[in-house]
Amino acid sequence: MKWFQLFALNCLISFSGFTQDLTGAWVRDLDTAIQYMTIVDNYFVVSTFHVANRKFIRTRGGTATIDGENMSGVIEFNTDNKDEVKLSFSYDHKLKGKKLHLPAEGITQEWERVDDANSGLAGNWRITGRHQNGNMMPMNPGARKTLKIMSGTRFQWAAINSETGEFFGTGGGTYTFKNGQYTENIEFFSRDASRVGASLSFEAEVKEGDWHHKGKSSKGDPIYEVWSRKHHTK
């Protein structure tokens, strides 16, 4: 009987420490818009927009820890409610196959999985360097930061100040990363709706864990940026 007791104990330990894998992109269709959520690298972001009308509605995000059927963390930005920044949250959720029941804006909603963040440039990236006047200038981590939250197929950048609650802009959509080329297909842009529908391509490679990103911006200006995951992932 000892082997059976040991087996049962191991099973109990395994299941008690079980963490549901919510990483990746999720979607739910609203009556007048669409909402995407990405959870990756202990971070989450939710964005609501209308593609056909090129209308950005709102976005919200922050740190996220999954423990069993609970997701908790701290809000770092919210375009609808700046006062929520730095406040903690805790949501209970249920995951069944490709369906996730998780509160959104105070109401439990059903989300459908888009991808599992196991491909492409999936991760929570932060800009850490920018080429200026012939030199690569380091950008030190701080409360004011620009993030790119990436699933396997979707991207969103957000420029924020996680201390003051200031929000400077965001944009996102789908992307591809293949044979050294990174292409963004823009579905929403908070500061300039005319950019919705545009596709931008860049030279891209990951070297020593850093993402090197080179090409031209949506304004046609040359850019060379370095993005990193190591400064803020666990």
pLDDT for the residue numbered 88? 96
What's the rounded Cα separation, in Å, for the pair 58 and 36? 11
82-93 burial string, b = 16+ CB within 10 Å, else e? Answer: eebbeeeeebeb
Instruction: Quickly state the pLDDT bin for 162 (edges 50, 70, 90).
Output: very high
pLDDT for the residue numbered 122? 96
What's the rounded Cα separation, in Å, for the pair 200 and 221? 12
Residues 6+ apart with CB under 8 A from 11: none
**pLDDT at position 13 over 60:** no
Residues 6+ apart with CB under 8 A from 181: 201, 202, 203, 204
pLDDT for the residue numbered 234? 41
**pLDDT at position 11 over 60:** no
pTM of the model: 0.85
54: β partners: none
**pLDDT at position 139 over 90:** no
Which of 44-48, 126-130, 229-233 is predicted with the least confidence, judged by mean pLDDT?
229-233
- What is the overall mean pLDDT for the chain? 86
Work out the percent of the chain whose per-residue pLDDT is above 70: 88
One-letter amino acid of 137: M
Residue-range domains of the chain with CATH: 15-115 (2.40.128.280), 123-228 (2.40.128.490)
